[in-house]
């Protein structure tokens, strides 16, 4: 039996390589020229990894559900609320054996936070930023999906931080979304901030394409301690009345992808998973999908950033 990886871009190639490293029989299939009828006629498909661009999620999830194939779908699933609802409804028949690719839920610092208990936290923030021109060698922003006014922009591109906010603070709802755009890319957000509140806490999630140095941080303020996380170091600093402790995490970035894929393999075969409390099983991810889609639709873009982008 074969695990089909549909989408032969960088993330599809990563998943294919990881499946191979895990000893699985995988097949990398480009979306261009994909023949659905021929694919569905095959008798050797065990599961599907959906690594296409965001607009192609619903069609493939419907196909998987109709054939009883569990799927691993890359994030984000959708940028509009109606799309997100339709996708989660369509995937229902195989939802308990499927996953969404929010691999930051496998970052050891994020897992440590989830296991710590955050009931005392009254304020939180998540931040990610980088210079989009330095994102990838031989890559053009203007020619990418991120430059599209419908379904593009930094909020969707860097939506892991929104998902972390939902995972760790599920009672915090969306209050507002403010953004800065770019004169050459109307309707595309380049720097965005979400305000969240609920469950006894207020928070923010920020992402941008502009930062001259890469940043990825989180801060949590609680009644008995404060926590500061640098995901790039990576380290977590915890301060309370007795002083400060620093916890450092030794791991490779691909470890998160591998951890998620191992759990997907277990889910699809109805075996025991890793026990990660934040495991992004598809049937548990509607709230995250809706938060991302509602935030994208709620963006208020005011002003533009002055930077040369091609």
The CA distance from 177 to 155, in Å, is 10
* Helix, strand, coil percent content, the chain, rounded in steps of 5: 35, 25, 35
pLDDT digits (tens, 9 = 90+) for 137-191: 777 899 888 999 999 999 999 999 999 999 999 999 999 999 999 999 999 999 9
pLDDT digits (tens, 9 = 90+) for 222-271: 999 999 999 999 999 999 999 999 999 999 999 999 999 999 999 999 99
Task: Say if 201 falls within a structural domain.
Answer: yes
Task: Say if 310 falls within a structural domain.
Answer: no
pLDDT digits (tens, 9 = 90+) for 270-292: 999 999 999 999 999 999 999 99
The CA distance from 63 to 56, in Å, is 11
Statement: residue 135 has pLDDT above 80? no
Same domain, 95 and 108: no
The mean pLDDT value for 58-81 works out to: 98
Task: Say if 221 falls within a structural domain.
Answer: yes
The mean pLDDT value for 117-144 works out to: 90
**DSSP codes of every residue in 159-202:** THHHHHHHHH-TTPEEEEEEEEE-TTSTT--SEEEEEEEETTEE
Task: Say if 130 falls within a structural domain.
Answer: yes
Q: Which residues pair with 72 in a beta bridge?
A: 49, 99
Domain that residue 178 falls in: 104-251+290-304
Statement: residue 108 has pLDDT above 80? yes
Calculate what percentage of the chain has a pLDDT beyond 70. 99
Query: What per-residue confidence (pLDDT) applies to 259?
Result: 98
Query: What per-residue confidence (pLDDT) applies to 145?
Result: 87
Output the domain CATH number for residue 57.
Answer: 3.40.50.720
Mean pLDDT across the chain, nearest whole number?
97
Same domain, 40 and 113: no
**CA separation, residue 167 to residues 24, 128, 175, 277 (Å):** 30, 17, 17, 10
Same domain, 148 and 115: yes
Same domain, 82 and 10: yes
Task: Say if 309 falls within a structural domain.
Answer: no
Same domain, 26 and 97: yes
Statement: residue 303 has pLDDT above 80? yes
Same domain, 10 and 116: no
Same domain, 116 and 9: no
Same domain, 71 and 19: yes
Query: What per-residue confidence (pLDDT) applies to 296?
Result: 99
List, in sequence order, the alpha helices (H) in 45-157: 57-67, 81-90, 108-116, 154-157
């Amino acid at each position: 039996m074969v695990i089909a990886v549909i989408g032969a871009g960088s993330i599809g190639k990563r998943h294919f390589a990881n499946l191979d490293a895990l000893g699985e029989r995988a097949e990398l299939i480009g979306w261009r020229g994909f023949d659905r009828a021929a694919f569905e006629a095959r008798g050797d498909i065990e599961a599907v990894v959906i690594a296409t661009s965001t607009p192609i999620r619903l069609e493939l999830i419907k196909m998987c559900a109709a054939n009883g194939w569990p799927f691993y779908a890359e994030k984000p699933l959708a940028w509009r609320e109606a799309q997100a609802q339709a996708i989660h409804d369509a995937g229902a028949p195989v939802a308990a054996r499927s996953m969404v690719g929010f691999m930051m839920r496998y970052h050891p610092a994020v897992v440590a936070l989830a296991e710590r208990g955050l009931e005392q936290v009254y304020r939180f923030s998540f931040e990610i930023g980088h210079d989009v021109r330095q994102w990838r060698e031989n890559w053009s922003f203007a020619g990418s999906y991120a430059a599209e006014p419908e379904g593009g922009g930094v909020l969707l591109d860097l939506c892991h931080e929104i998902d972390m906010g939902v995972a760790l603070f599920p009672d915090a709802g969306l209050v507002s979304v403010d953004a800065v755009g770019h004169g050459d890319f109307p309707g595309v957000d380049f720097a965005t901030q979400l305000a969240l509140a609920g469950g006894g806490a207020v928070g923010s999630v920020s992402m941008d394409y502009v930062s001259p140095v890469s940043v990825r941080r989180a801060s949590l303020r609680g009644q008995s301690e404060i926590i500061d996380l640098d995901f790039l170091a990576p380290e977590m600093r915890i301060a309370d009345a007795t002083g400060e402790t620093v916890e450092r995490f030794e791991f490779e970035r691909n470890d998160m992808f591998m951890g998620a894929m191992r759990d997907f393999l277990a889910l699809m075969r109805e075996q025991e998973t890793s026990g990660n409390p934040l495991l992004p099983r598809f049937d548990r991810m509607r709230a995250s999908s809706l938060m991302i889609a509602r935030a994208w639709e709620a963006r208020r873009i005011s002003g533009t950033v002055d930077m040369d982008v091609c």
